[in-house]
Amino acid sequence: MNDVRLNSILDNDFYKITMQNAVVKLFPGSIVKYEFINRGKHHFPDGFDAALKEAVNKMAELKLTKEEKKFMARTCPYIDLPYLDFLEGYHYDPSEVKIHQEGGDLSVTVEGLWYRTILWEVPLLALISELHYEMNHMERDSNEVVMSKTIEKAESLGRLGVTFAEFGTRRRHSYKVQNLVMEALTKKKESTFIGSSNVHFAMKYGVKPIGTHAHEWFMFHAAEYGFKMANEMALEHWVDVYRGDLGVALSDTYTTDVFFQQFDKKFAKLFDGVRHDSGDALEFADKTIAHYQRNGINPMFKYIIFSDALNLEKVEEITNYCRGKIGISFGIGTNLTNDVGLKPMNIVMKLIGVQAPNKEWIPTVKLSDEHGKYTGDPKMIELAKEFLRIKD
């Protein structure tokens, strides 16, 4: 028996909540499939599948509390009240998750209605990460070391004068470590720390939940409307639901170059900024600044959220390069929640298929600005590259 479990239905990334709200509204009948990808080729010990199943089964007991609902209504006025009623009645259904282990290899898939299954990805990754360290008996740094490392990072970022958020739920060492990190980050009132992508911890520590949408939002739209229409339809639908709120657009699902072809003046003016999640950060900054200037928009009135595998050195380099050219902010994940003296896991869970009305599965793909981060069916990746005229 292990004691690894989730403590709150809001122990999830905020963009899962914001996307679920939009999916309930726009795509209530869509059926999708997700798959766990072990990028780091990690070895899972005997019995890992049983321990993970036990933790997943416990998730069926989670329920939105009255206090959590009040927090959401107060903090996120752009989220529909009927959705909060829906979330209050929502329960995880463990039958949507299939877990299988062969030797040291782990297989995890999730299948079902998109509006229901969308919440599984982040908690599953967090549970897999925590169980991995626990069942392999790997000893982390002490609580004091975790806290002092985090405070040092916050002070360094403060000296740089840049705002930053904690984005580390999916690959955290453990719930306890993320809690220590959040405690350390919220100790100083004059800090440049602005919030967390984790809704539960945002509520617990009185900070802002941060996030808009993920790659799956665009990947679904490609399956539904075709690759050429994916970015445009995904942004259009986001605007239909949020009417100008939650205005940070993710740019790299089908490469940044393709994104900027469709991120026209209307979107460039309407969205507050863009998020960088793959490829060279400085090149991305140049492209973004040039795009705003071409559209007659002062880049200093817009901003980029950088969120790709950040550490202090990267943040400093990006800050020095971008200062005075465009607004910037940072979402730091693993370097905050899994900097504990052990190797962080490299794991993801991706949307791999959308069911068509005729019940056939349409494979989904992601073509980020790093070829190593391409995910999906190889034939469909080639097809997408051909349609979008992406050259290697």
Residue 162 to residues 146, 148, 151, 224, 310: CA-CA distances in angstroms?
22, 20, 15, 39, 13
**Could you give the CA distance from residue 159 to residue 37 in angstroms, rounded to a whole number?**
37
Residue with tokens 């509006």: 115
Average pLDDT over residues 255-260: 96
The per-residue DSSP string of 209-248 comes to E-----HHHHHHHHHHH-HHHHHHHHHHHHHHHHTTSS-E
The per-residue DSSP string of 120-182 comes to SHHHHHHHHHHHHHHHTT-----HHHHHHHHHHHHHHHHHHT--EEE--STT-S-HHHHHHHH
Number of Cβ atoms within 10 Å of the Cβ of 82: 11
% of the chain with per-residue pLDDT over 70? 99
State the burial class of residue 221 (Cβ atoms within 10 Å of its Cβ: 0-12, 13-18, 19+).
Answer: buried
Cβ–Cβ under 8 Å, residues 327 and 302: yes
State pLDDT tens for residues 185-231: 999 888 999 999 999 999 999 999 999 999 999 999 999 999 999 99
State pLDDT tens for residues 276-328: 999 999 999 999 999 999 999 999 999 999 999 999 999 999 999 999 999 99
Average pLDDT over residues 137-145: 97
> Which of these, 138, 106, 104, 112, lies nearest to 124 by C-alpha position?
106
357: pLDDT confidence band, cut at 50, 70 and 90?
very high
Calculate the CA dihedral of residues 298, 303, 309, 315 and round it to 10 degrees: 80
375: pLDDT confidence band, cut at 50, 70 and 90?
confident
> What is the enclosing helix (H) or strand (E) of 306?
strand 303-306
> Which of these, 6, 73, 11, 56, lies nearest to 197 by C-alpha position?
11
State pLDDT tens for residues 71-105: 999 999 999 999 999 999 999 999 999 999 999 99
Residue with tokens 């986001």: 238
Indicate the pTM of the whole model.
0.97
State pLDDT tens for residues 4-48: 889 999 999 999 999 999 999 999 999 999 999 999 999 999 999
338: pLDDT confidence band, cut at 50, 70 and 90?
very high
**Could you give the CA distance from residue 1 to residue 16 in angstroms, rounded to a whole number?**
29
Task: Give the residues across from 306 on adjacent strands.
Answer: 276, 330
State pLDDT tens for residues 102-138: 999 999 999 999 999 999 999 999 999 999 999 999 9
